[in-house]
Structure 1
């Protein structure tokens, strides 16, 4: 086992009090997924770097061999939409892969900061809150893994179905290897090397799908823990008001300390959320742009369906994947905003007006901070929320409508 992982686990060992170790308890599935594709930030040996180059190279070369179709075919609007509909989907997968590769140190630092916050949590009820959100993140991760496996199975079935059909009907006609739903140009005899081309295609799809699931669930799990931190802030405020109503100087001091601890963990939750998302700003901007192009092109392929059921199924799968990713990412960001607002709703609802004057002044200061909403900004320009997800969906359909009307003309 890697020495850094052992050291990371060692920070969770304390003989005097119960502690939370994020890697072994809450990020274990995410760690396995990222290890498979070489993106776990705590294990970056030369062998892992070589693994990264091979996997990322496989994904990138498949994108290149799709774009080379323009060099050997007549460039028409139909060809452009057909090639870009799949090429930009794999570009989205490559962006996700690359974002975690170049931001490995950022991810490592984020995990360390999150672990430091968890190390300060000693209350059993607060630990229970962390574990509750950790279990929720694991359920989401497992569900997305199963969904990814299903879509991967559908993708493979699309390509092996002609072979299965050939065997089932027992026809004497030679089967064609050209039943291709993703246009590529390898500059070789595609009939002779069909199995190698198929291997490359499926390898790229497996790597890209795994990268999307692994990186997406890692971000969701991380942000779920920041939601837990907001929830702990609410718990500490409630505890502080409860303590303050027991009239004694010592209780008043303890109440002040609880409020200070609530403010600290609330600030840490905001800081950790912003730190991670802001460092992925460029990647998210490129991902949004590539995703919009991919959505528009695949919508065009769906409405232009003629008789190729395989292409229709492939485009529908890509649309479902992208819209699901759009919804989940914005839903998670919306949860961050909601949890932040719930902190101030808790402050309004507790009986703070019955607390000592000193506590009331601290509460009023917190209420003033609640006037400003907190949102995660994706790509430096996009406010992540469910409303924004609906807006992006509407925009993609609007762009598609314009392109479709142009094509009709």
Structure 2
């Protein structure tokens, strides 16, 4: 955290010794906000470590109570999906980090003879940059690696919780389907009716637990989601502007650096909204399962249970951020559109 904070501070101190032109403000802010985003990801996981631990422990207890082989297979399937998603996310973000570090060091080696242009990212360490240039570059490189690792680790923890939540919603649908597959007639033995009641009650219990944990996740991360979303949108706009401007002036190294930032920001923004969409879709699947099942053939008491469950599942379970927006793919499209709008405004001002 100290390295990330110093990385941000030593960029902001550049405003003390350098004339604040529009181009310079964009150059510093585009990198500083990315550093702030990484710092926010790190702090949010650090501050909520006990909450995440609590949720994961509760999931483990639920998993230990599963006796049905199909339910265990459902959870295992979702955990395998998580493993593949983790590998893909790690690969994309590491490629983004590689782009940025490659651009920074290439820029340094191409400008060795120009001491005032050695470091591509605008910083002010109040030391002789020519003498300590390698240490400055090392600090910048380490800060970028730590930031991406923090964002990656935090994102994967949250993704693990969401994947398990989706598994719980799928188990709920499975239990409803299993209960409705039991045929009941007027002269059916009481044992069969009891089996239906038990399956529906078990479905209700696990459905309530899934809703409880989704609310828990939303309440403890809504502040972090709000601030990281604002930072991401602004930072994305600035880095898109940096890509466009450096492409015009054929500054390849700076272009690659901004391109790497954009890859990382878009990846994290998409994944954050995609997992929110998955929660909505899986909660809606429970409603669809109950509605399409032959609930009217069930015993009267079972119909009442299903009716209350139908009422509750008719409202989608979603991650609502302070009442401003719902984390979903629609939100992702809106945020990208907003970033492009801000980029257009900056370009018109610069012109």
Give the stretch that moved more between structures: 397-406 or 206-215.
Answer: 397-406
Distance in 1 (CA, whole Å) between partners of 2:107 and 2:237 is: 28
1:185 match: secondary structure: coil
Counterpart in 2 of 1:242? 181
| Among 154, 157, 179, the residue aligned to 1:218 | 157
Aligned residues: 347
The superposition leaves residues 295-318 of structure 1 with CA deviations (integer Å, 9 ceiling, x where unpaired) of 121122122221311111111221
Deviates more, 1:152-161 or 1:134-143: 152-161
Whole-angstrom CA distance in 2 between matches of 1:163 and 1:284: 36
CA distance in 2, matches of 1:290, 1:152: 19
Given the superposition, is the C-alpha separation of residues 225 and 345 from structure 1 closer, same or farther in structure 2, using an over 3 Å criterion?
same
303 and 162 in structure 1: CA distance in 2 versus 1, 3 angstrom threshold: closer
Of 254, 264, 284, 2:225 maps to 284
Query: Distance in 1 between the 2:229 and 2:16 partners?
Result: 27
Cα shift at 1:99: 0.6
Distance 2:245 2:107 in 1: 23
1:89 paired with 2:34, answer yes
Correspondence 1:46-65 to 2 at 5 A: 56-65=1-10
More helix by share: 2
**Greater relative contact order (Cα 8 A, min sep 6): structure 1 or 2?**
2
CA separation of 1:298 and 1:279: change in aligned 2, threshold 3 A: same
Q: Give the corresponding residue for 1:272.
A: 213
Please state how far the C-alpha of 1:327 moved relative to its aligned partner: 1.2
TM-score by structure 2 length?
0.94
Map of 2:290 onto structure 1: 347
Question: Relative to structure 1, is the Cα distance of residues 163 and 58 closer, same or farther in structure 2, using a 3 angstrom cutoff?
Answer: closer
Match of 2:146 in 1: 207
Q: TM-score, normalised by structure 1?
A: 0.81
Secondary structure of 2:121's aligned partner: coil
Which secondary structure state, in structure 2, belongs to the residue aligned with residue 375 of structure 1? Answer: coil
Report the RMSD for the aligned CA atoms in angstroms. 1.9
Q: After the TM superposition, which of the residue ranges 350-359 and 388-397 deviates more from structure 2?
A: 350-359
- Residues 94-116 of structure 1, C-alpha deviations (whole Å, 9 max, x = no match): 00001111112111211122222
Q: How far is 1:164 from its partner?
A: 6.5
1:394 is matched with which residue?
337
Q: Does 1:198 align with 2:137?
A: yes
